[in-house]
Amino acid sequence: MQTAEIRRRFLEHFAARGHTVVPSASLVSPDPSLLFTVAGMVPFIPYLTGREPAPYQRATSVQKCVRTLDIEEVGKTTRHGTFFQMNGNFSFGDYFKEGAIQYAWDLVTGPVADGGLGFDPETIWVTVYLDDDEAAEAWHRIAGLPAERIQRLGMEDNYWSTGAPGPAGPCSEIYVDRGPQFGPDGGPAVDRAGDRFLEIWNLVFMQYERGAGEGKDFPILGELPKKNIDTGMGLERVAFLLQGVDNMYEIDEVAPVLRRAADLAGVTYGKDHEADVRLRVVADHVRSGLMLIGDGVTPGNEGRGYILRRLLRRAVRSMKLLGVDEASLPELLPVSRDAMSASYPDLATDFARISSVAYAEEEAFRRTLASGTALFDTVVGQARKAGTPSLSGEQAFSLHDTYGFPIDVTLEMAAEQGVTVDEAGFRALMQQQRDRARADARAKRTGAVDVLAYRRLLAEHGPTDWLAYETLRTDSRVLAVVSELTDDDGAASVAGPGEITRVVLDRTPFYAESGGQVADAGVLTWDGGRAEVLDVQRPVKGLVAHQVRVLEGELRAGVALTAEVDHQWRLSACQAHSGTHVVHAALRQVLGPQALQSGSYNRPGYLRLDFAWQGALSGVQRTDIEDVANAAVRADHAVTASWMTLPEAQAFGALALFGETYSEQVRVVEIGGPWSRELCGGTHVRGSAQIGTLALTGESSVGSGARRVEAAVGLEGFRYLARERDLVRQLGELLKTPSDGLVDRIGGLLARQRETEKELAELRAQQSVAAAGTLASGASDVGGVAVVTGAPAGLSGGDLRTLALDVRGRLGDRPAVVLLASESGGKVALVAALTPAAQERGLSANDVLRAAAAPVGGRGGGKADVAQGGGTDPGGIPAALAAGEKAVRTAVAEGS
């Protein structure tokens, strides 16, 4: 039975039993604590935990999932995979254990002719929690299972909770006995490896409220007022059982890639364990890459992008280790598309974009491999020569940061050559780099208030009456003043002048930051008081929280006030957001439909938009995009918004943003009808002419297969163009050249400058040669070691190093030390260079440099033969040279 057919039967089975069929959510999880959707229940967590009311009592889905914790085990075992599909059925306060067991049994053992999966009832075993007599009795009564095939296991195997206070409960797992050839008899309790008794379905019975505690040690506080069902059936596991193959890599949705990879490599699957591992890595990772790019993820160096990059690069490198030197993804990705598109038709219609991202990543990695492998071999050779078969964190970081060599590839290659890597040191250096890069990032916009405080407010008062689309001013009442501190669950009774706090109102006209649009600015005014609105967020769905600075009076719960949005701020924000839609439509018109938006940010006067595209835009393309966008502005297209169901919006042709989670009812914003039609919850102008001037200000890369355009909008757009005009005017006056001749004039000046710099470089080289001879001839003897010191003026660190090496070369094979210092621009450059004979005498360039660096207030380092550094005190140069020579004299004396 094909995987797509199993999927269809599952959904139809539960749809016929009153379940709403819910489409798979994106692999990009809406939960900020997760990179990806890791389980079928993730999209339903708000309903299962009671944070939000469920829109249906029963639901069923086949959810796309990605887990990467065991990525190194993929291919080595027959059960580890990164992408998988989880069939699930859910009940929100409706049926419970008996219903879940009945539905599962009917599907698993139902005849194929009647829509079932046709498993032999005699091969089915189940497990239940130790004291769950209710589930055990239901299995015996409904399925007729004998007691020996209903096994009771402990909390580790058959109890579910989130790990935090909240819903919890026992679970029951369904196993299929594959036969004695796969292991001993005795059921799942005996077969802990799971080779013979394979779990295919887990039924979770959420019936208790658990308290705080670690691991398995937590109290049960009582039963839930509404009991829920959450189940998960592994689609790939069921597929390989029903298809009569040995593992998930051999099912119909994965095996075609494995077979094509084997053909390209000229190997036979099943003949060689090492080759089989690599083929399984390729088959799994190519499919996972296809699905992730399909859901809008692009390769990068952080988060989801890094995981995707790692998957694609592991697949490419596995093919290279199999002997395939040519690009392999163009051969493999279409095979995976064909295997998966029966279940996910969008993969076929969107394949041009998906493949362009994947192929560009492979090409970039092939270049990295070509250069990085040679560098890696050099570093490993040096480590072995030094007698330390390990790479330091600094060496691994240099390979990554300077040469783009991924750490996971370094680790794998090192393991293959029996070399260890200081991974902890590498991670520490990476974290230091990230910390520096994020030093000026914004603080988390939700503040430090425990979300539980907001949830209690929502439960007590209901959702905020949000009127941002209808008005800019409301008469409101303060429901709560919420402190930024976590004490007392964030509740505070009053905020006075100068304090910054968060306020929840019963109704508000303020737009809360979302969809790339920043929050509104404005004021709250009340009898005797006034507060400035700094930020607006939705800490939990349905509730709006305003971060405010109290300017006058005291703000407390129960106060009646007026909430008013800054009109100019809102207009400018609307211009930027509508401008983002216009630029997106212009991109697609100029570049083609594959230039899909993958992210955006807009604030008054500014917008940026990320989109899928390979390579930088040409000057002509940038001009065309700007022209198309401004033509739409001048046309004054009507801007309209309408509500409809998500399927209706998709049929209507509305574009959805990758990675966004949409409700059943969505808002479609149109500019000029079908010219721009997108799902959007932001605020917009009434007609496109209101956007005003739109000027592209920048275009750059934000990762492989992704570009970013930036633009100034409205009054800021006009100001940007005015500044550009003034700049051209000033340059023309400075160079005494009309504006239309500036390019040629500046080009001529740059050409002359390059020629002058070339002449200066040749002159410096001549001077360096002369200086090297003079310095070498003035060497002094220190205990049989020739010592050269000197202070040539005006040399950079690079030029000084070149001179020092030249001097060292003139000193021949004798023991010799060269120490030079140079002052340039108020800074000091230092270089120490030793001949091999000097090193054999026990001397080190590092020691000499360290001694010389102190008098000039500097530091530095390097290797035993050459070390380099700098300082900040040019007046200390004579003392530095003397200190270096003294260090040589001391070392020679100690070694004699």
Residues contacting residue 407 through CB under 8 Å, at least 6 positions apart: 396, 400, 423, 426, 430
Alpha carbons 273 and 416: distance in angstroms, whole number? 15
680 is in an annotated binding site: yes
Is 65 labelled as part of a ligand binding site?
no
Q: Can you tell me the distance from the alpha carbon of 298 to that of 352, in angstroms, rounded to the nearest whole number?
A: 14
In sequence order, what are the residues at sequence separation of 6 or more whose Cβ sits closer than 8 angstroms to the Cβ of residue 55? 20, 664
Q: What is the DSSP letter of 217?
A: B
| Cβ–Cβ < 8 Å for 282, 261 | yes
Strand ranges (E), 483-604: 491-492, 494-495, 500-505, 507-508, 522-526, 529-537, 545-552, 555-556, 560-565, 597-603
Tell me whether residue 725 is exposed, middle or buried, using C-beta atoms within 10 angstroms of its C-beta: 0 to 12, 13 to 18, 19 or more.
exposed
b or e along 421-455 (b: 16 or more beta carbons within 10 Å of the residue's beta carbon)?
A: bbeebbeebbeeeeeeeeeeeeeebbbebbeebbb
Measured over the CA atoms of residue 613, residue 618, residue 624 and residue 629, the dihedral's sign is positive
Nearest residue to 322 via CA among 363, 284, 280: 280
Residue 581 known to bind ligand: yes
Run of H or E residues at 869: strand 866-871
DSSP codes joined into one string, 93-150: SS--HHHHHHHHHHHHHS-GGGTS----GGGEEEEEETT-HHHHHHIIIII---GGGE
Tokens of 661: 């989670």
Q: Where are the alpha helices (DSSP H) in 139-272?
A: 155-158, 235-242, 255-265
State yes or no: 684 annotated in a binding site: yes
In 3-state terms the chain splits into helix, strand, coil percentages (rounded to 5) of 45, 25, 30
Q: Are 839 and 864 in contact (CB under 8 A)?
A: yes
Place of tokens 């075609």: 256
Q: How far apart are CA 608 and CA 287, in angstroms?
A: 31
How far is residue 446's CA from residue 538's CA, in Å, rounded to a whole number? 8
Q: How far apart are CA 400 and CA 396, in angstroms?
A: 6
Distance between CA atoms of residues 817 and 854, nearest Å: 19
Pull the structure tokens for residue 634. Answer: 């001048």
> Sign of the C-alpha dihedral, residues 376, 379, 381, 387?
negative
574 Cβ contact list (under 8 Å, min separation 6): 683, 684, 685, 690
Pick out the residues of the known binding site.
Answer: 577, 581, 680, 684
Pick out the residues of the known binding site for Zn(2+).
Answer: 577, 581, 680, 684
